[in-house]
C-alpha cells in the first residue's frame, strides 16, 4: 500500500490500512510524518482514552475483554492497545498474546494492537501515543490502553490515558505495597477484581482509605462473569466528562504531548549516539557518565559552532 492509500484506508476504517500505518510508526518509516500530520485532529480530540493497569495476576486482560464486549453492546467502535512486557534478549512476551480478547478478533469494530516492549522505554511510549491517534482517526472511541504496570516505563505509557483504572485482586500479597509506591499517582479509579474471593472485601477496605485521600472511588468486579464492568465503564466515563468540563483533560494531554516529544527526539538521535559509542575504544576506560557528557558537549558544539 502506498502512503495515500494508507491515509485513505484509515478514514475508511480498513483493518489492513490501520495495521500498516501502525507498523510504519513502529519502524520509523520515512512516510510517518506525512501519515501522522494527515490524521483527523477533531476525532483525536474527542476520543476518550482509558487506561487499565495493575500488577500481574489481577485479571486485567479478562477485564479489558469484558469492557470491550460491553462497549460493543452499546454500539461503540473500540480500540485496544495492549502493552506486553517482553524479554530484551528474545523479544518474546512474558504474559501471552491476549488470548482472552480473541473473542473480539473477528469483529471489524474492535481494533486490537499488541505492542511488545522488547526492552524499549521512551520509544515505546512515543509509539503508543501515535497509535492512539491512528485508532482515533479510524473512528475508535473509546480507546483502551492496557499495561502490566510493573515499572516506570509502563507508568509513563499509561499517562497517555485520560482516565486510568488501577486493578488489583485479593491474594497478590505484597503487591498492594507496590501499588501504594508506584501506581497510585496515575489512578483515577481503583478496582478490586475477583470480588467473589473471601479476601476481596478486606482489600477493598484497605484501598478505600487510600482512595479517599485521592478523591477516587473503589469498584468491585468479577471480570470472568462480567460483573461490575458496566459500573466501572460508566464511572470512568463520568470522570472523563468532568475533566472536559474543568479543562483538565486538555492540560493533561498537553503534558503527555511534551513527554512524547522528548521521547521521539531521544528515539531519533539514539542510532547516531549508538554509532558513536560503538566506534569508541580509547575512551572506554573512562567513567561512562564522563564519556556520555563528552558526547552531549559534542552535539552542542555541532549545533552552535
- Domains of the chain, by residue range, sit at 1-38, 40-248, 259-303
Domain 40-248 annotated CATH 3.40.50.300: yes
Indicate whether 276 pLDDT > 80.
yes
* Cα(124)–Cα(156) distance, integer angstroms: 10
Task: Compute CA distances 303 → 169, 204, 270, 271, whole Å.
Answer: 52, 55, 17, 18
Model pLDDT for residues 56-82, shown as the tens digit of each residue: 888 888 999 999 999 999 999 999 998
pTM of the predicted model as reported, rounded to 2 decimal places:
0.88
Phi, psi values for residue 82, rounded to 5°: -105, 115
Mean local confidence (pLDDT), 266-277: 86
pLDDT at residue 91 tops 70? no
**R_g of the chain, CA atoms, integer Å:** 21
Measure Cα distances from 255 to 38, 46, 248, 251, 252 in Å. Answer: 22, 17, 11, 6, 5
Amino acid at each position: 500500500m502506498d502512503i495515500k492509500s494508507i491515509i485513505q484506508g484509515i478514514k475508511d476504517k480498513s483493518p489492513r490500512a490501520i495495521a500498516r500505518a501502525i507498523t510504519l510508526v513502529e519502524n520509523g518509516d520515512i512516510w510517518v510524518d506525512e501519515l501522522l500530520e494527515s490524521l483527523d485532529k477533531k476525532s483525536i480530540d474527542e476520543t476518550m482514552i482509558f487506561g487499565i493497569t495493575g500488577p500481574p495476576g489481577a485479571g486485567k486482560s479478562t477485564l479489558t475483554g469484558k469492557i470491550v464486549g460491553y462497549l460493543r453492546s452499546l454500539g461503540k467502535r473500540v480500540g485496544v492497545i495492549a502493552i506486553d512486557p517482553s524479554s530484551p534478549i528474545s523479544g518474546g512476551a512474558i504474559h501471552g498474546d491476549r488470548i482472552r480478547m480473541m473473542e473480539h478478533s473477528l469483529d471489524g469494530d474492535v481494533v486490537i494492537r499488541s505492542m511488545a516492549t522488547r526492552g524499549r522505554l521512551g520509544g515505546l511510549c512515543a509509539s503508543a501515543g501515535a497509535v492512539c491517534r491512528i485508532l482515533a482517526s479510524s473512528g475508535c472511541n473509546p480507546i483502551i490502553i492496557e499495561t502490566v504496570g510493573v515499572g516506570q516505563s509502563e507508568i509513563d505509557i499509561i499517562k497517555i490515558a485520560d482516565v486510568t483504572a488501577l486493578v488489583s485482586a485479593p491474594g497478590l500479597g505484597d503487591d498492594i505495597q507496590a501499588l501504594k509506591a508506584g501506581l497510585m499517582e496515575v489512578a483515577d479509579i481503583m478496582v478490586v477484581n475477583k470480588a467473589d474471593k473471601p479476601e476481596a472485601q478486606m482489600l477493598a477496605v484497605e484501598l478505600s482509605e487510600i482512595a479517599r485521600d485521592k478523591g477516587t472511588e473503589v469498584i468491585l468486579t468479577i471480570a470472568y462473569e462480567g460483573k461490575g464492568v458496566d459500573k466501572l465503564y460508566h464511572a470512568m466515563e463520568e470522570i472523563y466528562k468532568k475533566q472536559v468540563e474543568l479543562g483538565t483533560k486538555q492540560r493533561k494531554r498537553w503534558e503527555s504531548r511534551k513527554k512524547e516529544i522528548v521521547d521521539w527526539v531521544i528515539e531519533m538521535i539514539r542510532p547516531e549516539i549508538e554509532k558513536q559509542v560503538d566506534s569508541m575504544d580509547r575512551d572506554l576506560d573512562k567513567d561512562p557518565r564522563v564519556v556520555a557528557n563528552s558526547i552531549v558537549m559534542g552535539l552542542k558544539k555541532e549545533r552552535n559552532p
